[in-house]
Amino acid sequence: MKRTLALGYGIVAYVLFLGTFLYAIAFVGNLRVPITVDSGRSAPALEAVVIDALLLGLFAVQHSVMARPAFKQKWTRLVTWHLERTTFVLAATLALALILWQWRPIPAVIWDVRGTVLGGALTALFWVGWGILLWSTFLIDHFELFGLEQVWTLVKAREFHRPAFKTPLFYQWVRHPIYLGFLIAFWAAPVMTAGHLLFSIATSGYILVGVYFEERDLVRAFGEVYIEYKRRVPMLIPIGKRYVYKPSAATDMGR
């Protein structure tokens, strides 16, 4: 019964994440959903800035605190490690859903290049960014990343082995292609409003801060292997040498 409940919990958390993530794509891209980054309930500019900043800050705190090894060590005293990642995904999904629900647009236009070649290029880049992001999750281990693999090992009573450290495709060009995908998607906007700009600046700043702490954890976990990878491969801008890792030990990319 416990294993069945754990499996159900993992599946529900993943489905909620997937639905919220798909809505987030429409939210950022101003597609046909009730609330987008540029449409929804209106508020005075200052009020909108305060509310939006608080929403983004709440997500940043939740995501950063729960992702740190020190928190995980304490948290897994209460929740089995098989469900730790699933619980993290669920909490992050709820924090993201709150942004999508309570966002206040700030409609002042910074630029509008719709109907131009540049506008078409930005629209294409928007979809390229999301494509890079999603593809990158599968290049490492999509289902382990979102907690389903850990739950399945509990259900099958198998030993869980973390994915081996590897640098497939995008990971040979940048260390964080998932974050690169987010950055491209957030900034590739044919219409950039003040609200969208606030969203893009805040999320970009959080990504840079998050990368710093994530890489500190990765160096602790993998030592010289990751230090060498970090030395050879740029963080987010794909310039410089490619790096092809030749495994000598079972390690994983981490999050």
Q: What is the pLDDT of residues 122-148, one digit of tens each?
A: 999 999 999 999 999 999 889 888 988
CA-based nearest residue to 39, from 51, 27, 49:
27
Q: Which residues of the chain have pLDDT under 70?
A: 160-164, 240-255
What pLDDT shows up at residue 2? 82
What pLDDT shows up at residue 183? 97
* C-alpha–C-alpha distance, residues 177 and 114, integer Å: 28
Query: At 56, which amino acid appears?
Result: L
Inter-residue contact 63 to 106 (CB < 8 Å):
no
The token duo for 175 is: 């260390």
What pLDDT shows up at residue 122? 98
What pLDDT shows up at residue 240? 66
What pLDDT shows up at residue 253? 38
What is the DSSP secondary structure assignment for residue 237, as one 8-state letter?
S
What pLDDT shows up at residue 69? 82
What pLDDT shows up at residue 254? 38
